[in-house]
Structure 1
Amino acid sequence: MAWGDLLGYGGRIAEAQFNPLDARAKSSIKRMRDFHRIVAEHSNRNFRTLVINDGVAVFRDLSLRSSSVSHDFLMRSWELFEAINQHEARASQPGIRMVVACGFRIRGRKAVIETDHGKVNSILKRYQDGFLTVDQAIREASTARPSFDAVPQLQANFAFTKAYVAESSGTGGGFAGPNFFLDTSLLKKTDTEWPVGGKAFDWEHNTLGLKSEFMRIEHLSPEKYTNEASSRLKTGLEVAQTLAGDNDVLEALRRARKN
């Protein structure tokens, strides 16, 4: 899970008194639109994103048996971070801070919103009754929006909680400037040459009881995943074992699902 936030955005909008018609807000609005465009360009079915104003959440479930997904997600997150900050630098903007964190999430059932089925049924009925052409029906269906929406992968997602709270702690929490921070729970070792980064540091949020070890990544070469033996990143199972402090974490999760 990754969370990134544009630095200084709120302050700039506040200067314009949160009025988009104020001339001082124009650069911030353009900045946000450019940010959304870059995120969209880097998003795909294996790298799903959700933008919320000046922030972006990126999510993917790790593979229990292979670290290839870990590699792919980390590299894509770094590439997104670099693309945004390069654009920000050209526009003389403060940049983005991004935090990649590991954590469990609770899987839930996909909600069925009956009220939204009525919209589809209405389109079908009007088409069958001859009030809509095929082209009109398709266009109306393509622009229909649900009255309720949620991203299931972000509900009860404790990696999201950790990444968001850690990034929000800012310089006081050890997360200074437009930098990229990685939860070392994803790494097999923190004293290797890849990824290149600063010294690992402990972070803790006393009120929420959240804590983890992070390191600031200074450079992440485009190293390709080859095999498990050479991998410097953990599989999803190894991450789960680290987080739970239990090598039999899968059995513990199975028991929890039955209760």
Structure 2
Amino acid sequence: MNPSTAVGKSTKFPFQVAVSCWIDLLGYGEMISASRFNPLHPDARDALARIRTFHRIVAENSARYFPTLVMNDGAVAYRDLSLRARAPTHDFLVRAWQMFDAVRNADIKSGHPGPRMVLACGFRMLGRRAGLDASRGHLKSIVERLQIGEIGAEQAVREAAAMRPHFDIVPQLQANFAFTKAYVAEQSGTRGKLPGPAFYVDMMLFGDCRPPWLDLGPDIDWVHPKLSLQTVFAEVRCIHNQRHPSGGPADIRDGLAIAQTLANDPNVLAALRAASK
């Protein structure tokens, strides 16, 4: 590795290279509108059962390095990539496929259209948990009163459990252009050449050759002219080998290689270092 691409362990940048996937239940809006958006209507039972199954499967597939945020009939998973290792990129792709496959199988088995998922990569800006920051004063008060004996441990636990921030965000999803690309592409649907049910992956995750352990459909040149977004997607039809050496397969990119492609700059680290000063 030459000096222009070397990454030190203590290197901190104001931007991260991120990967994100958005999954959405096809036809759910039509289901709930048929019940006039009334959960007590008899036609709403099937829609409610469908979304509960979806939430359960997403929860079962969530993990420390595959956190998710559910928003009604859609969900997003996200992760920052390593600038030095390919394994996190591969791990996220495999986990995304596993979640999509589980949702698809359950949904179609129940007679529903299935989901559409889009996985994309991009830069994201660092953020902060504003809602939790606003709660620090309350937490400090609980700890101080517990220490001086003003309240007991049981009351301290009750107060802490009852805390609800007035405002909260998921910082990893703010100014996250991987999430933006995945969401907008999924929403473009058939008109954007991404019909469902299907799982589409941003081909920027891979090198010049298609990985032999993936069954991929043809390249799809996707463009969103109003947002100046474009990339090449392909449908993931199957992942034949979901286990690879600890370093990850050689034909999937680490965060640095993806950053170089995103920025169209082989010296992207120099630009990141300059931005961090």
TM-score, normalised with respect to structure 2: 0.86
Q: 1:119 and 1:216, CA in 2 relative to 1: closer, same or farther beyond 3 A?
A: same
Q: What amino acid does structure 2 have at the position aligned with 1:150? A: I
Overall identity of the aligned pairs, in % = 47
Post-superposition shift, 1:40? 0.8
1:73 aligned residue: 92
Post-superposition shift, 1:255? 1.5
Q: 1:156 and 1:26, CA in 2 relative to 1: closer, same or farther beyond 3 A?
A: same
2:255 corresponds to 1:211: no
Pairs aligned (count): 258
Higher strand share: 2
Q: What amino acid does structure 1 have at the position aligned with 2:61? A: H
Post-superposition shift, 1:108? 2.8
2:212 corresponds to 1:193: yes
Structure 1 range deviating more: 177-186 or 213-222: 213-222
Distance 1:168 1:37 in 2: 23
2:58 to 31, 39, 49: 39
2:44 corresponds to 1:25: yes
Post-superposition shift, 1:159? 0.4
CA RMSD of aligned residues (A): 2.2
Distance 2:145 2:248 in 1: 60
Deviations 1:39-81 (A, max 9, x none): 1111111111100001111000111111001110000000000
Post-superposition shift, 1:222? 3.4
2:108 to 47, 64, 89: 89
Q: What amino acid does structure 2 have at the position aligned with 1:183? A: D
Post-superposition shift, 1:145? 1.7
Q: Is the 8 A contact 2:122 2:177 kept in 1?
A: yes
Q: 1:221 and 1:249, CA in 2 relative to 1: closer, same or farther beyond 3 A?
A: same
Q: Is the 8 A contact 2:31 2:47 kept in 1?
A: yes
Distance 2:246 2:144 in 1: 54
1:182 aligned residue: 201
1:234 aligned residue: 253
Q: Is the 8 A contact 1:75 1:222 kept in 2?
A: no
Distance 2:229 2:171 in 1: 22
* Secondary structure of 2:80's aligned partner: coil
Post-superposition shift, 1:15? 1.2
Post-superposition shift, 1:129? 8.6
Structure 1 range deviating more: 184-193 or 45-54: 184-193
Q: 1:105 and 1:134, CA in 2 relative to 1: closer, same or farther beyond 3 A?
A: same
Alignment of 1:42-53 (within 5 A): 42-53=61-72
Q: 1:130 and 1:31, CA in 2 relative to 1: closer, same or farther beyond 3 A?
A: farther
Post-superposition shift, 1:116? 2.4
2:78 corresponds to 1:59: yes
Deviations 1:108-129 (A, max 9, x none): 3443756524543565577679
Post-superposition shift, 1:23? 1.5
Distance 2:185 2:209 in 1: 19
Unaligned 5+ runs, structure 2: 1-19
Q: Is the 8 A contact 1:9 1:28 kept in 2?
A: yes
Q: Is the 8 A contact 1:225 1:231 kept in 2?
A: no
* Secondary structure of 1:29's aligned partner: helix
Higher relative contact order (CA 8 A, sep 6+): 2
* Secondary structure of 1:193's aligned partner: coil
Unaligned 5+ runs, structure 1: none
Alignment of 1:98-117 (within 5 A): 98-111=117-130, 115-117=134-136
Q: Is the 8 A contact 1:203 1:212 kept in 2?
A: yes
Post-superposition shift, 1:141? 1.6
Q: What amino acid does structure 2 have at the position aligned with 1:14? A: S
Q: 1:203 and 1:114, CA in 2 relative to 1: closer, same or farther beyond 3 A?
A: closer
Q: 1:51 and 1:134, CA in 2 relative to 1: closer, same or farther beyond 3 A?
A: same
Q: Is the 8 A contact 1:202 1:211 kept in 2?
A: yes
Q: Is the 8 A contact 2:131 2:168 kept in 1?
A: no
Q: 1:118 and 1:209, CA in 2 relative to 1: closer, same or farther beyond 3 A?
A: same
Deviations 1:158-196 (A, max 9, x none): 000000000000001111011000000001135442311
2:13 aligned residue: none
1:12 aligned residue: 31
